Amino acid sequence: MTDTKISLSFPSKLYDAYIFDMDGTIYLGDHLLPGVKRTIEELRRRNIPVRYLSNNPTKDPSQYVEKLSKLGLPTDISDIANTVVTMTRWLKDHRPDAVVFPIAEQPLIDAFNDAGIKMSDNPEEIDIVVASYDRTFDYRKLQIAFDAIWFHKRAILVATNPDRYCPFPGGRGEPDCASIIAAIEACTGTKVQMIAGKPNPVMLEEAIAGLDVDPTNCMMVGDRLHTDIQMAVRTGMFSAMPLTGDSTIEEVAELDEKDRPTYVIDRLDRLIPADIWEENGWTEDDA
């Protein structure tokens, strides 16, 4: 049986690098979450690498740099890895000659263009249908995917991310990529063959590429058990789940111990050990 009495738990040491989810972890909407700014500043001050991950393919890395910088977190483009990056790289590495039909918004389409990936909306030519978080999804796109996969029996289905919805401030949300995957699977009888985003470990590999760190002494920080935390579990990385976004402490309790985050924290600055809080004179009220 699972343990229904899960308590908050905080790290007592710093790790070699920190990889952060963004929505629900760093910010919600256009506001930083409690304790975020001083956490990132403390890690930067100690020259500990900080990287950011997102399953959202509606923004390219430069847009995340702009947003984080406006929120008071100066960021380099090399600090960002999202599904625009990982989906493009997977296609270039594994299917460089494929003709792709992207059910996607402009940032992913632009990345495919820049990478020289061939695209078409002619079902007779399509080798791969790429499903993503697409707020322009319509019946025309579904028909093209259906014809390429079911009628012509030549295309496979891959996707950027498995998220059911994208969280908004105030407890609202917006249907995400999982709804588009489900629509295509339902009408074609096929199954998605590869998902490039979290919890696929390729996201973490992309995030720490070029860093001289031991992956097993790094920390993945994210608010979703089935993407952020599951990805860390799959790679043997430490993990922390802040209770500022999607998943709850009750949901943690329902999991087997091996699938739980290493730490459950109420706010991001709990990542910084208590002795450093004392050294810096931090209190909860001044964050």
27-53: per-residue pLDDT in tens?
A: 988 999 999 999 999 999 999 999 999
Least confident of 43-52, 98-107, 158-167: 158-167
Q: Is the pLDDT of residue 2 over 70?
A: no
Contacts of 106 (CB under 8 A, 6+ apart): none
Per-residue confidence band for 109, with pLDDT thresholds at 50, 70 and 90: very high
- Residues of the chain with pLDDT > 70, as a percent, come to 98
Task: Report the Cα 214 to chain-centroid distance in Å.
Answer: 21
Lowest average pLDDT, out of 78-82, 119-123, 169-173, 179-183, goes to 169-173
- pLDDT tops 70 at residue 153: yes
Report which of 239, 203, 197 is spatially closest to residue 218, judged by C-alpha positions: 239
Span 7-25, average pLDDT? 95
Share of the chain above pLDDT 90, in %: 88
- What number is the average pLDDT over the span 176-191? 98
Q: Higher-confidence residue: 167 or 222?
A: 222
Alpha carbon of residue 131 to chain centroid = 16
Choice between 3 and 84, residue whose per-residue pLDDT is larger:
84
Predicted confidence (pLDDT) at residue 1 exceeds the cutoff of 50: no
Contacts of 184 (CB under 8 A, 6+ apart): 129, 131, 142, 145, 146, 149, 157, 190, 192
Q: What's the whole-number mean pLDDT along residues 2-21?
A: 88
pLDDT attached to residue 205: 87
* Residue 68, pLDDT above cutoff 60: yes
For residue 246, what pLDDT is reported?
A: 86
Query: Is the pLDDT confidence value at 154 over 60?
Result: yes
Sheet (strand 99-103) strand order: 118-119, 99-103, 128-131, 156-159, 194-195
Reply yes or no on whether the pLDDT at 281 is more than 60. Answer: yes
Measure the CA–CA gap between 119 and 109, rounded to whole angstroms: 9
pLDDT value for 3: 52
State residue 264's pLDDT score: 97
What is the sign, positive or negative, of the torsion defined by CA atoms of 268, 273, 274, 275?
Answer: negative
Q: What is the rounded average pLDDT for all residues in the chain?
A: 94
